[in-house]
Amino acid sequence: MTERIYGKELIEKHVLIDNKGGAIFIFEPESVLTENENGSVSLKTESLVIDFLALLDEMGLPHEEEAAIALITVLLEKREAGEMTQYA
């Protein structure tokens, strides 16, 4: 059984923010990310990821911590229910 995390830790674990202000959501970052020699991270393989900011916008949610945590929680619940398995 995996340990549950809550609050801001959900954002830190599942949402990667790039240096251009974009953000992607990753269900299992440990299995698909690798750290490069220069300290940056990249996907190990080509994987489908979710454009997190676009999803917030599409759902009419503000770009705020509470909304992000709520959305991450829903995405993780959908994954546990067997949905969204095509995404990294």
- 84: its two tokens: 């969204």
- Cα–Cα dist 37/41, whole Å: 9
pLDDT digit string, tens, across residues 16-41: 988 888 999 999 888 888 888 998 88
Q: What is the pLDDT of residues 42-66, one digit of tens each?
A: 888 777 889 999 999 999 999 999 9
Kindly give, in sequence order, each residue whose CB lies less than 8 Å from that of residue 86, ignoring residues fewer than 6 positions away: 48
Cα–Cα distance between 35 and 39 in angstroms, integer?
Answer: 6
Report the run of H or E that residue 23 belongs to, with start and end. strand 23-25
| φ and ψ of 70, to 5 deg | -60, -45
